[in-house]
Amino acid sequence: MLKRDCRHFPGDRPCDFHKQDLVTCENCTHYAPRGMTILIMKIEALGDVLRTTSVLPSLHRQYGPCHITWITSGTARELFTGNHLVDEVISASDDYLPTLLSRTFDVVINPDAASKSCELATISRGYTAFGYRLGPEGTVVALNRAADRWLEMGGCDAVKRGNTRTYQQILHEICALDAKGQHIVLNLTEEEAASREDLAREIGVDLARPVVGLNTGAGERWRLKKWRTEGFIELIEMILDRSDAQVVLLGGELEGGRNAFIKSKFDRKVRNPVSRNIRRLVRMVDLCGAVVTGDTLALHVALGLKKRAVALFGPTSPAEIDMYGLGTKVVPDIDCVSCYNTDCDREPNCMDLISADDVYGYLANEMNLAASGQSVEETVHASGVRSEGEECMVGEPIADW
């Protein structure tokens, strides 16, 4: 008897186990029922998509065996390579309408109030729905009070600025899930893990010595998420003078010019491999013991790979970021932090106030923690005032999925 509900059965052909071992459903030990069917829509942006994967361990824990389908952007699709907690990834550029119109899911989750996500959620069929959809007039409708509070934050910078909870906390409340033990899910494939030393040789780093990754960009939307170029140059000088660490510049085509300029100041002492795609970025971050970055994709990649991180904040909210006990948040001592403005004429601006001396001190501490394996999260104001950041940590540090 064919077991049509097995997650390994593709529907139109025998499963891999049948082809490899000639087993049939009656005597197969690999049978795994799909269980609850869950649809998640999170399309943009890359860092947001990655940190939203923190809901996956919680869904599997709360619902037991479940089959998860995720609709995302074509670029973000690479973030799910090696992610065994998602069964099916559909690009928003694919022909996803047959999937939405032919299936009824047990749970539909759309944590994004953006119009495209809401349109998809509205035409999706599910017995239970969380997040947002469109009303008859085409306006966004929040499906519970937690979603309504997040919508209010998205619509008012002052309300968002006053938020003290992490995105992961808010996301889990929207989905009616227990947030304890949630983690960003990002994995290397077996092939990527096996080629780690090959990549190190390619870019010219010695894995027997410490490796520091400096992510100099922050995408196109938030110009002020980027720390000043001079700050990175000063930081590299300190790293090379005061430690045995090797420096790798992280970034893609958008950071190409900036990274080339920084490297030109140090000749062969700094590595500048260009990340041609997301998987290459993931692999390069995996080589690092610690990463210095703004509030952008590289931060979430580092945390997903359980790397130490020094995160520099200015126009966006440090409170929303769960460091999982893996890093330091550097927050400038200025009254307009988390303004969510895309431009600024204030001099010096928030990111200008972050000194290379301070960043190096925090980085040196993170490198020591990386060597010791300890887990400590700290929020540090650039003025030198320190406060423990444990209240921002929802996830249990260093859990494996």
Which pair of tokens denotes residue 148?
A: 């309504």
Q: Are 294 and 271 in contact (CB under 8 A)?
A: no
**DSSP summary character for residue 80:** G
In the CATH hierarchy, which top-level class contains the domain 34-174? alpha beta
Q: How does pLDDT run across 26-76, given as a tens digit for each residue?
A: 889 988 888 899 999 999 889 999 999 999 999 999 999 899 999 999 999
**Alpha carbons within 13 A on the beta-carbon side of 50:** 25
pLDDT at 391: 31
pLDDT at 376: 62
**DSSP summary character for residue 128:** E
Write down the H helix ranges in 156-224.
157-161, 167-174, 190-194, 196-203
Neighbours of 84 (CB within 10 A): 10
Architecture label for domain 190-392: 3-Layer(aba) Sandwich (3.40)
> What is each CA distance from 316 to 50, 73, 321, 329, in whole angstroms?
17, 23, 10, 12
As averages over each run of 10 residues, the pLDDT of the chain (401 residues) reads: 84 90 89 91 94 96 94 95 95 84 95 95 95 95 96 93 94 94 94 97 96 90 86 98 96 90 92 91 97 96 97 94 94 90 87 95 94 70 39 32 27
pLDDT at 378: 65
Q: How does pLDDT run across 194-220, given as a tens digit for each residue?
A: 999 999 999 999 999 999 999 999 877
Looking at the chain, which residues constitute the CATH 3.40.50.2000 domain(s)? 34-174, 190-392
Neighbours of 49 (CB within 10 A): 23
Q: Are 259 and 216 in contact (CB under 8 A)?
A: yes
